[in-house]
Structure 1
Amino acid sequence: MRVSLRARFGLLALATLGLTATGIMIGEVMRLQPCPLCIFQRLLYLLIAIFALGGVLLPGWSRLWGLLVGLTATGGLGTAAYQSWLQFFPDASLACGSGEPTLIEQVVNWFGVRWPELFLATGFCSSKDWLFLELSMANWSVLCFLLLMVVAAHLVVSTERRR
């Protein structure tokens, strides 16, 4: 069965919105306190959803949308990997949330002031308060962003083949 390019972008948007909603729901149910890196990853998932919706609405630019998804997923992978590293080596995590705010913390604070229900960061980046199959939420996010990079590469390549 052949799935159209628009449908693939639509599924990608639904998947990233679903990941975001799942993270929020787990946080609420388990009363977890998200850290600045968690919230930044949430923002990146939402940005990927926006780019994927761009692929649905403007399929003529699907290569651009696929590249933007891939670049955003790469940034997310780096962020999630850094948070995973902080969780594996908590003594190195003194920089997260202390001292002058980093660019990521400034972005998260800006969103947190405007929409505190979704973007207020109150936790510590080194905390592993939730584990599933011995992996933290940051570890799962590494895997999800890696998968999103593969999907983005597939979207770009499939767009190239059609031209």
Structure 2
Amino acid sequence: MSEFSVRVGIAAAVMVTTTACTTASSRAVPEPVADTSVAAVEYYLQVQRDVMDVLSEEFPGLEFSEKYARTNAGCTLADGTHGMSVHLPIHGSSSPVPVADLQRAADLFERTAAGAGFHGRQVLPPDTGFSMRMFAADGSYITFGSYVAAIVGLTVGCYRI
């Protein structure tokens, strides 16, 4: 299969994803999900694991491992005090989701993330493969993508240190 065929297939999958999207019902998650950055990271690490587990169960070829380390960034809370936003380790697989299965993978990702309080599905431009993101009320967001490999990343919103 040529690179052009793969790109056309991914673009078609993105179009299907954006035109045939269903609205996920999300569960209310209190804002914030924790009192501190440490506790919020613990909560969101479990959410990230849940997403990877669901995808790996459905697609046994997706074995996720850490590809990029965690990073922290300073931020300012609404009351003007300093906090921390944490970019959890990005996990990737050695292979992508097959193009024909991207819609099913996107639906699984959306349902699992919505169950943890994420909403607002946003499909990112297909120039670098398939990628979608969902958002939580506390400013956190989770991303699922697939092109050369499948990836799951999560950024925790601004919390007290």
Q: Under a length normalisation based on structure 2, what TM-score does the superposition of the two structures give?
A: 0.34
Q: By percentage of residues, which structure has more strand?
A: 2
Q: Under a length normalisation based on structure 1, what TM-score does the superposition of the two structures give?
A: 0.34
